Structure 1
Amino acid sequence: MPRRKQVPDADVLDLALGVLHTGGAQALTFAALAEVSGLAPATLVQRFGGKAELLHRVLMHAWDQLEWRTAELGEAAAPGPEGAVAFLVGLSAQYGGIDSYADALLVLREDLLDPESRRRGREWKEALARILDTCLEGPPGAGAVLATYWQGTLLWWSFDPALPVTEYVRRELTAFVTTVLRPA
């Protein structure tokens, strides 16, 4: 009798997130997930329920990863504007190139449609602002301003990705903190 393949849920969710990134929600089917995981579609349905539950679990898994990475980088962030910039550059590294960034927008679309994802997004913004406020040691709210500027910087980079995202983000955020958030 052949051994049943054991794949932890977290590993299956990583694979499902890859499918979601490259093809969007319509590509995230049990057949597609079976193909990349080596598990039977029926097994996946037993473990994750219907497609809506699978999509929700994938989104929550992605948020878990992002929150973990944010906390990890936040704990290591150095004080001062340079530390704040380095923290955001570290978070930007996850995007890699323009294709990966564009694929991430497929996940963002699903996040915006999911109430729990929107809640976690609001909480993540607050966590970013706290970490950045600690680094900046500046006026209250400066961290939220820098986080907002960072998100805009990523979007502007995507229209002209001639530089690596981390290089572009470092350049733009450094200019921002030295001209706008400089100490009085």
Structure 2
Amino acid sequence: MAGRPREVTDAAILRAAAEVIGRLGPAGLTLAAVAKDVGVVPGTLVQRFGSKHGLLVALAKQAANDAQAPPERAGHVNGSPIDTLYSLVIESMATMATPERFANHLAFLCLDLTDPELYAPAHAMHTAQRAVIEGLLVEAVESAELATGTDTTALAGSVQAITTGAGLSWALDRHGTLAERLRQELDTLLRPYRTTHGAELEET
């Protein structure tokens, strides 16, 4: 007699939904496609999330929750707030490693901007990411990686803008990898604020 199948968690379903969006975009996302990826019937997703829209809302809320504490999960890379910032920015875009996947996730963002139920968690994620970035920049000033007097609030906004803009530019010109482009743009943005100590850490 076959054993009882292991229950698939909501987290696994949401990871599968994000993967399907990366492959097919939000328009191509179906409950059947996600169910196939996790090995359940579509009815299971209907029971859990109600509809495709309900699944998208749950995914957006999970992304907002995940954005609130990445430094605690990752720890400081090489003991450096700046290295940690680079790592988190690159990791945040890791699911968009091809121009096609970037376009599909961008299409999801367009839904976020027009659907009130999706906008609220998207805005919460944006705000949480800004707070995390600013916190790391403050630590970088305190550890002398960035110059004393650096406006960390304004710089955090620039990091977010650079991250989004670099992804779009890379998807259009397709030079190198997205991770390489993000690192290059962050280097350019932060270089005027780096101290001698910060530059030495970067070289090690």
- Asked whether the two chains share a fold, i.e. TM above 0.5, the reply is yes
Distance 1:80 1:22, change over 3 A: closer
Please say if 1:151 is aligned against 2:152. no
Tell me if 1:177 matches 2:167: no
How many residues end up aligned between the 2 structures? 182
- Aligned residue type for 1:32: A
Deviation at 1:121, TM superposition (A): 1.8
Distance 1:31 1:122 in 2: 33
Please state whether the residue corresponding to 1:7 is helix, strand or coil: coil
Query: Which amino acid is the alignment partner of residue 133 of structure 1?
Result: V
| 4+ aligned runs moved over 6 Å, structure 1 | none
Deviation at 1:4, TM superposition (A): 4.5
Shift of 1:156: 1.8
Q: Which of residues 102, 127, 146 in structure 1 aligns to 2:132? A: 127
| Residues 81 and 177, structure 1, Cα contact 8 Å, conserved in 2 | no
TM-score (norm 2): 0.71
List gaps (5 residues or longer) in structure 1.
none
Q: 1:42 to 1:94 in 2, by over 3 A?
A: closer
Q: Distance in 1 between matches of 2:81 and 2:26?
A: 40
Please say if residues 30 and 41 of structure 1, whose CA atoms lie closer than 8 Å, have aligned partners that are also in contact: yes
Q: Is contact 1:12-1:37 (8 Å) kept?
A: yes
Aligned-CA RMSD value: 3.0
**What is the percentage of aligned positions where both structures have the same residue?**
24
Pair 71,182 (structure 1): closer, same or farther in 2 beyond 3 Å: same
